[in-house]
Structure 1
Amino acid sequence: MSQVFSKSPKHCGEKQTLNIDKHYKKLFCALSTFFTSILSLILLIWLLLHPSKPQFSLREADIYQLNLSTTHLLNSSIQLTLLSKNPNQKVGIYYDELQVYAAYKGQQITVDSYLPPFYQGHQDTNLLTASLVGTGLPVAASFRYEVGRDQTAGKLVLNLKMNGKLRWKVGTWVSGKYRFNVNCVAVMDFGPTLPTGPLSSKQGTQCSTSI
């Protein structure tokens, strides 16, 4: 009598399952290695280039109107010119969602003015101009007192601010969006007698930028 040996269906099923598991494990390892290599390459490029944040300076600021229509409502009109510079030699910058406004003693005294998005190449500079206005903006009761005190001191100090988002461009690769904030301080001569012309600041103040 001869003996016949055969594998049970149970053993065959177990072997097939093991083969499928090994296949998925190899595929997972290959994909993990690929994505890790891509991320490492991007990180290496980032570390080598190490983009510097953009630089802004105040070219000119002119106040044409800054008066209270009632005790707590302000009308304002300010013309602003900023110089924007990309200091990077190998990194371009896309600017998106740009908003500019003026503040005095921590109070916003104009509504947001929106600038069109633009691209700034390697070490390029751009002039940005904005007309900032406010009509019937509510301000604190101390506003008139603060302006009067600055007029007695002979100096009026404004904060001209810009908020937006930027993207770095390296070759064909473009990063995600990063929020940035710019703060420029404008100091204007403001004597005890009201001037006939606009108050002006033309000292070319360097602005602070945070990302």
Structure 2
Amino acid sequence: MSIVHAQSPKHCAKQGLSINKVYRKLFYSFSTFLLSILSFIFLIWLILHPTKPEFSLKEADIYQLTLSDPHLLNSSIQITLLSKNPNKKVGVYYDVLQVYASYKGQQITVDTSIPPFYQGHEDSNLLTASLVGTGLPVAASFGYEVGRDQTAGKLVLNLKANGRLRWKVGTWVSGRYRFNVNCVAIMPFGPSIPSGPLSFKQGTQCSTMV
């Protein structure tokens, strides 16, 4: 005859409580671990959150801005930009950087690429670019707008840059981020201006968006 061991309802209840306690401890342990990891990541983000790079326009010279017919423009512009990384613990990889000139909302040169480079902590780099356009289509009002600016005695030009960058912290490198830069150059321009390039040498801070 076999002996059947039957557990009382009270014993089963105690066993169920002990199992629930084990699951509860595992849940609390996992929650505490996850919260610690998230807190650590948030703390690192607060400490190392990168400040966007700073750009300033140091110099711009317009050598050509002429219409070959009422709708086609030939242009030649030389610019010098200063790029600065303000971060003390974060480096910047500039993977893509393209520069062009704009006038009255119209692009007046083709995109010019600047070779990729790395910028260390709190480093600065001078960037030069020759911006040209040959037979670029422009609005019919372009010649009128230039003539009106010549009468007013000043020409307002936008020098723009866009591209992709990556942040570097120690050996860790982030994914790519888009960035846009806009610099405004106001140049003396009028009938009494001597022949030669229109020049901007005052230096101005540019706006940067990442």
**TM-score exceeds 0.5:** yes
Task: Give the Cα–Cα distance (whole angstroms) in 2 for the partners of residues 173 and 39 of structure 1.
Answer: 18
Task: Say which is worse superposed, 150-159 or 186-195, in terms of deviation.
Answer: 186-195
Q: Deviations over 1:71-102 (max 9, x none)?
A: 10000000010000011111111111111000
Task: Say which is worse superposed, 192-201 or 118-127, in terms of deviation.
Answer: 192-201
Aligned ranges 1:73-112 → 2 under 5 Å:
73-112=72-111
Aligned ranges 1:10-89 → 2 under 5 Å:
40-89=39-88
Unpaired stretches in structure 2, ≥5 consecutive residues: 5-27
Q: Give aligned-pair identity as a percent.
A: 79
Q: Deviations over 1:85-132 (max 9, x none)?
A: 011111111111111000000000000001111110011000001110
Could you state the TM-score of these two structures normalised by the residue count of structure 1?
0.82
Structure 1 residues 112, 32: closer, same or farther in 2, change over 3 A?
farther
The structural deviation recorded for 1:175 is 1.1
Match of 2:161 in 1: 162
Question: Over the residues paired in the alignment, what is the CA RMSD in angstroms?
Answer: 2.4
Structure 1 residues 146, 171: closer, same or farther in 2, change over 3 A?
same
Structure 1 residues 109, 159: closer, same or farther in 2, change over 3 A?
same
Q: Which runs of 4+ in 1 moved over 4 A?
A: 29-40
Task: Give the Cα–Cα distance (whole angstroms) in 2 for the partners of residues 152 and 166 of structure 1.
Answer: 41
The structural deviation recorded for 1:43 is 3.3
Match of 1:146 in 2: 145
Task: Give the Cα–Cα distance (whole angstroms) in 2 for the partners of residues 32 and 68 of structure 1.
Answer: 69
Could you state the TM-score of these two structures normalised by the residue count of structure 2?
0.82
Q: How many residues matched?
A: 191
Q: Deviations over 1:47-91 (max 9, x none)?
A: 112221111110100000000001100000000100000111111
1:117 and 2:89 correspond? no
Q: Deviations over 1:139-190 (max 9, x none)?
A: 0011000000000011011000000111111111111111110000011111
Q: Secondary structure at the match of 1:69?
A: strand
Structure 1 residues 178, 116: closer, same or farther in 2, change over 3 A?
same
Q: Kindly provide the amino acid, as one letter, of the partner of residue 90 in structure 1.
A: K
1:202 and 2:174 correspond? no
Task: Say which is worse superposed, 105-114 or 41-50, in terms of deviation.
Answer: 41-50
Structure 1 residues 36, 157: closer, same or farther in 2, change over 3 A?
same
Q: Kindly provide the amino acid, as one letter, of the partner of residue 202 in structure 1.
A: K
Q: Secondary structure at the match of 1:110?
A: coil
